[in-house]
Amino acid sequence: MPRGRPREAVVDVRLLEAVRTLLADTDYADVSIARISGLAGAGRAAIYRRWSSKPELVFAAVVHGTELDARRFDQGGLATDLHALVEHVVALLNTPVARNALPGLVAELQTSPEVRRRFQTRFIRAERDLIADILSRARSRGELQTGQPIGAPEVHAHLLGMVWAELFLVTDSPVAGDVVDRVFRSVLSTLSLPDHRGPARQGPQPGRQPEDPC
Amino acid sequence: MPRGRPREAVVDVRLLEAVRTLLADTDYADVSIARISGLAGAGRAAIYRRWSSKPELVFAAVVHGTELDARRFDQGGLATDLHALVEHVVALLNTPVARNALPGLVAELQTSPEVRRRFQTRFIRAERDLIADILSRARSRGELQTGQPIGAPEVHAHLLGMVWAELFLVTDSPVAGDVVDRVFRSVLSTLSLPDHRGPARQGPQPGRQPEDPC
Amino acid sequence: MPRGRPREAVVDVRLLEAVRTLLADTDYADVSIARISGLAGAGRAAIYRRWSSKPELVFAAVVHGTELDARRFDQGGLATDLHALVEHVVALLNTPVARNALPGLVAELQTSPEVRRRFQTRFIRAERDLIADILSRARSRGELQTGQPIGAPEVHAHLLGMVWAELFLVTDSPVAGDVVDRVFRSVLSTLSLPDHRGPARQGPQPGRQPEDPC
Amino acid sequence: MPRGRPREAVVDVRLLEAVRTLLADTDYADVSIARISGLAGAGRAAIYRRWSSKPELVFAAVVHGTELDARRFDQGGLATDLHALVEHVVALLNTPVARNALPGLVAELQTSPEVRRRFQTRFIRAERDLIADILSRARSRGELQTGQPIGAPEVHAHLLGMVWAELFLVTDSPVAGDVVDRVFRSVLSTLSLPDHRGPARQGPQPGRQPEDPC
DNA sequence: CCTTAAGCGAGACGGTACGTCGGGTCTTCGT
DNA sequence: ACGAAGACCCGACGTACCGTCTCGCTTAAGG
């Protein structure tokens, strides 16, 4: 049992909120520990008592509220599940906070293996497992054949990487609004069939699954 | 005509080589201007005379030797062209220098718009245009139908982003060696074509092609 | 009451000692902040936390141990008091540290008014007041008549300036060892008699010479 | 005889004038070679072809027009000669240019022996020799006794140093306007009488007292 | 109740990188 | 060989940041 004064939970909250507030309109590199502790009205030591470094703190702040609820992505069909997932991923990464935080955070991943590990388990593996579930359900429904050479790791890298490219690498893209549709169509076309719904039908098209088993 | 003493080309070379030497086994953040100028035997001012900031310098150093030769990717078929391109992109990004430089560089893109512009035109646009050429040739050969909803921007984001994800986001990936094949198959399957290239033979899944025309 | 961690006195000491050590055999201009902080085993910030600029720091280091103890200069007679003072001033200015520091420091006085103010109160005013005391005592003893047109400011400028000239301006002087005696005699001879020439009578005063041959 | 293109005298003039223009309202340290060459419309090399360093250049610029004309200080009497000399010295040192240049210049003297040598011969020795002449004339006129213990070196250090102190060390002096008179009186009072006060009795130089009782 | 361990804000600590500026030298071209 | 222009190396400056440590104070839990 712990002796001494217990940590004040409000300090955790204030710190994480301060990080998010700053990241809302400041780049990762310009968010310094001093500014965070100043905005939160906390001491520097209170930060390092909780997180071992700046990337850990920012990671914790950015992670907040990004829990994957597996049930949201079980909507009865491969296309709908995937569409919901793409929507979710884009929504997560297209936040002002995420846009400011992620590139800097990923840059630090290369240096600090501890954060990398956390990042992997918290984001990467969770998403990949979710995709594996979606694909497995689709397979059991007959939407996907079993021998499919494109598995969860590939779909995951495809999905996440394409969103990343659209948001962080190809920044002069004329239209960023339809990122969800473009990524969704690209990922789906990988798994099933030529997507001959046409650009007009951007919806999840649950009625399309019958064609998939072909 | 330029007045005054001209820049010494050897200094350019020494500086850029110094950057690459340091980036070969040091992270972007740990490559300092002082170390670069020290290793190059140049003064700091010689750096700032040529590039306005550290990301500009690193960008120039990393860009070196990455010119796209369009002829290398005109091999007579969509699959072969794409395979060559994927191989090229992976080769570029999987260099020790690139692995150390790119995450930090992309993080700085968010702050310095000048570097971002250069990055866009030098890397992003060039690649996208190349992909557009490849697709256009395929279309004229009849390998792709004209109404294909997946165009060059999508293929580009797919290809580049997926490589990025494999290399920089999903770093606990068990196998990184077959990145080329996995990305190639994923991109190709998007375009609804049978995979009949040699290397893909290991996983060509001939059983899938019949469904494609579907 | 002060909040936060208090300054460590040992850092003050180490920094000031480092400055004096460097000034013992290096010119003011060659004593850099980096060398000081390096020799003191302190961070640069520790310096700028205490002094706002290099001249402020050097001034603080040079000032150390130069407090005027008025009692040392009350020895019962004008000549002895003055001799002690000249000895003191020469001893202060003829130190290796002072010889290296003072010219550079005085050069910076012209630029930084804050250091100038400090320099004035710490050195100039203190000395002048001490001289005023010495003269006042001499007057009350009858060693000086009251109408004496040469007062403390003049004696001070005479004394200090002459020492300065001997040490820093006339550096090819054959003998520097008897500076004390020469300055002492010069200053004392100034005070010996009422000056009844007056500025108006710039003439040679032939009537006074008969006393000289004694 | 020199081969090649001869130096353009106008460049010398422009450079020296540029230095004086800058020194008219800028401190020595803030007058950089770049600013000088820029203002003069000359190249850096043109400076270093003529003078070996910044202090040499500044010295040359400040020296300009300060030639001592010995006849100006032969006015028929010790007091008048000295008064003229004090006026001259104060006029020289109280120029805006001199006020900005001299402290910095003297600071550099400690480092560069070449400039020091020049400074000595050009300023110090010339003045001292002039004072020696003045005193010698006074002696031959009977204004000074021959055994006078205060000679030209002492008078010189007194005069120059006192002016220096009034102008550069005691900068909070309430009145600077009467510097000439104060220095003149101080110097003259040194010379006009034998040292025969009682107080010197307690002084450290017992050997000198025999003359004192007169 | 009172000791004790650990929390708290504030801020000093050593170290390091940044970008600017200055000095003195060297190299271009044209005169 | 001069002229202007400007690149060259070196190194100082002052600011900012990181992660640690040290103050005095506060807050509980355990004796």
In chain B, what are the domains?
9-61 (1.10.10.60), 70-195 (1.10.357)
Token pair 């190709």 in the structure block, residue? B188
Contacts of C117 in chain D (CB under 8 A): 172
Contacts of C31 in chain D (CB under 8 A): none
What pLDDT is stored for residue C176 in this prediction?
62
Q: Chain D: give the shortest CA distance to residue C132, in Å.
A: 15
Position B29 confidence tier, pLDDT thresholds 50, 70, 90: very high
Q: Gap from D196 CA to E19 C1', in Å?
A: 67
Cα separation of B158 and C12, whole Å? 60
* Out of A153-167, B175-189, C85-99, D73-87, least confident range: B175-189
Helix/strand/coil (H/E/C) assignment for every residue in chain D: CCCCCCCCHHHHHHHHHHHHHHHHHCCHHHCCHHHHHHHHCCCHHHHHHHCCCHHHHHHHHHHCCCCCCHHHHCCCCHHHHHHHHHHHHHHHHCCHHHHHHHHHHHHHHCCCHHHHHHHHHHHHHHHHHHHHHHHHHHHHHCCCCCCCCCCHHHHHHHHHHHHHHHHHHCCCCCCCCCHHHHHHHHHHHHHCCCCCCCHHHHCCCHHHHHHCCC
**In which element (H, E) is residue B67 found?**
none
* Out of A48-52, A94-98, C176-180, D198-202, least confident range: D198-202
Position D145 confidence tier, pLDDT thresholds 50, 70, 90: confident
D7 touches strand E (CB under 7 A): no
Whether the CB of C147 is below 8 Å from some CB of chain D: the reply is: no
Does the pLDDT at position B205 exceed 60? no
- Give chain A's mean pLDDT: 87
What is the share, in percent, of chain C residues with pLDDT greater than 90?
A: 68
Give B159-199 as a DSSP string: HHHHHHIIIII-TT-S--TTHHHHHHHHHHHHTT-----SG
Q: Is C79 helix (H, G, I), strand (E, B) or coil?
A: helix
Contacts of A190 in chain B (CB under 8 A): 186, 189-190
Whether the CB of A142 is below 8 Å from some CB of chain B: the reply is: no
What pLDDT is stored for residue C112 in this prediction?
87
Position D201 confidence tier, pLDDT thresholds 50, 70, 90: very low
Give how far the C-alpha of residue C64 lies from the chain's centroid of Cα atoms, to the nearest Å: 13
| CA-based nearest residue to C161, from D134, D167, D177 | D167
* Out of A145-149, B48-52, D141-145, least confident range: A145-149
Cα separation of A199 and B97, whole Å? 40
What pLDDT is stored for residue B147 in this prediction?
76
Whether the CB of D195 is below 8 Å from some CB of chain C: the reply is: yes
Contacts of A214 in chain B (CB under 8 A): 211, 214
- Give chain B's mean pLDDT: 87
Q: Chain D: give the shortest CA distance to residue C41, in Å.
A: 27
Interface test with chain D among C158, C188, C209, by most D beta carbons within 10 Å: C158
Find out whether B116 and B109 touch, Cβ atoms under 8 Å. Answer: yes
Position B212 confidence tier, pLDDT thresholds 50, 70, 90: very low
Contact between chain A and chain B (3 or more Cβ pairs less than 8 Å apart): yes
What pLDDT is stored for residue C199 in this prediction?
37
What pLDDT is stored for residue B67 in this prediction?
86
Whether the CB of D52 is below 8 Å from some CB of chain C: the reply is: no
Regions of chain A short of the pLDDT cut 70: 1, 173-176, 192-214
Q: Is C89 helix (H, G, I), strand (E, B) or coil?
A: helix
Q: Chain B: give the shortest CA distance to residue A9, in Å.
A: 32
D3 touches strand E (CB under 7 A): no
Does the pLDDT at position C211 exceed 80? no
Does the pLDDT at position B101 exceed 50? yes
What residues of chain D, 99 to 118, have a C-beta less than 8 Å from chain C?
99-100, 103-104, 106-111, 116-117
What is the share, in percent, of chain B residues with pLDDT greater than 90?
A: 71
Find out whether C184 and C139 touch, Cβ atoms under 8 Å. Answer: no
Does the pLDDT at position B166 exceed 60? yes
Does the pLDDT at position C106 exceed 50? yes
Contacts of D200 in chain C (CB under 8 A): 79, 188
**In which element (H, E) is residue B126 found?**
helix B126-141
Position C111 confidence tier, pLDDT thresholds 50, 70, 90: confident
What pLDDT is stored for residue D1 in this prediction?
57
User: CA of A177: how far to CAs of A174, A197, B141, B157, in Å?
Assistant: 9, 20, 33, 15
Of D169, D198, D203, the CB nearest to C106: D169
What pLDDT is stored for residue D5 in this prediction?
81
What pLDDT is stored for residue C52 in this prediction?
93
Cα separation of B189 and B200, whole Å? 12
A46 touches strand E (CB under 7 A): yes
Position B197 confidence tier, pLDDT thresholds 50, 70, 90: very low
pLDDT tens string D179-195:
999 999 999 999 874 43
As a whole number, mean pLDDT of residues C90-108 equals 94
- One-letter amino acid at C164 equals W
Does the pLDDT at position D208 exceed 90? no
pLDDT tens string C130-173:
999 999 999 999 898 877 778 899 999 999 999 999 999 997 76
C1 touches strand E (CB under 7 A): no
What pLDDT is stored for residue C205 in this prediction?
39
Dihedral sign of CA atoms C74, C78, C82, C84 in order: negative
Does the pLDDT at position B143 exceed 60? yes
Q: Chain D: give the shortest CA distance to residue C124, in Å.
A: 6
Whether the CB of D25 is below 8 Å from some CB of chain C: the reply is: no
pLDDT tens string D95-136:
999 999 999 999 999 888 888 998 999 889 999 999 999 999
Q: Chain C: give the shortest CA distance to residue D165, in Å.
A: 5
User: CA of B32: how far to CAs of B15, B28, B99, D64, in Å?
Assistant: 12, 8, 17, 48
Cα separation of C139 and C143, whole Å? 6
D30 touches strand E (CB under 7 A): yes
As a whole number, mean pLDDT of residues B17-42 equals 96
Dihedral sign of CA atoms D192, D194, D199, D205 in order: positive
Which tokens is A35 given? 């500014």
What pLDDT is stored for residue B172 in this prediction?
72
What is the share, in percent, of chain D residues with pLDDT greater than 90?
A: 64
Query: A179-182 long-range CB contacts below 8 Å, 24 or more apart?
Result: A179/A90, A179/A94, A180/A83, A180/A86, A180/A87, A180/A90, A182/B153, A182/B154, A182/B157
| Chain B partners (3+ C-beta pairs within 8 A) | A
Does the pLDDT at position C83 exceed 90? yes
What pLDDT is stored for residue D174 in this prediction?
58
What pLDDT is stored for residue A174 in this prediction?
59
What is the share, in percent, of chain C residues with pLDDT greater than 70?
A: 87
| Partner-chain contact C206 D142, CB within 8 Å | yes
pLDDT tens string C15-67:
999 999 999 999 999 999 999 999 999 999 999 999 999 999 999 999 988 88
What pLDDT is stored for residue D104 in this prediction?
96
